[in-house]
Homo-oligomer: A and B are copies of this chain.
């Protein structure tokens, strides 16, 4: 490895910190979800993207881009959400290969119920550890890596 490819100490600390912070906060949040008897954390993102979207519907590939889920994982996550009645698949008329994923009323209700745990959990595990200015600065820096 040539010298210029070697990460600087600060870069390495940033990357290791990113992994550790994410794991640590995520596992704390997942613990809160479990304690509240909620479905898996990962369901939230998909439901939220659908709720935000016009008509509560998105194509799978759109959800994929927004959530960074792998295609095959999303496909099966939709299966599970559908089995729970939180979303339903509908035909996409203009292209018979595709489909819509539509959030149901139960899905909207579940999203809202999850937020009641999720919101405070974010506050506890992130907000309480940083000032407003720090949170802003962190968000700005992280957006450079997305």
Contact = CB atoms under 8 A, between A and B. Distances in A.
A71 interface: no
Given A6-B119, A6-B123, A14 B132 contact: no
A117 B52 CA distance: 39
A123 B5 contact: yes
Contact of A18 (B14, B15, B21, B27): B21
Contacts of A119: 1, 5-7
Identical subunits present:
2
A75 interface: no
Contacts of A6: 119-120, 123
Nearest to A19: B22
Given A1-B119, A116-B1, A146-B17, A134 B141 contact: yes
A86 B70 CA distance: 30
A91 interface: no
A135 B8 contact: yes
A19 to B, nearest CB: 7
Interface of A: 1, 4-8, 10-27, 68, 115-116, 119-120, 122-123, 125-127, 129-130, 132, 134-139, 141-146
11 contacts: A4-B123, A11-B122, A13-B136, A16-B139, A17-B139, A18-B21, A19-B26, A21-B142, A126-B145, A130-B144, A137-B137
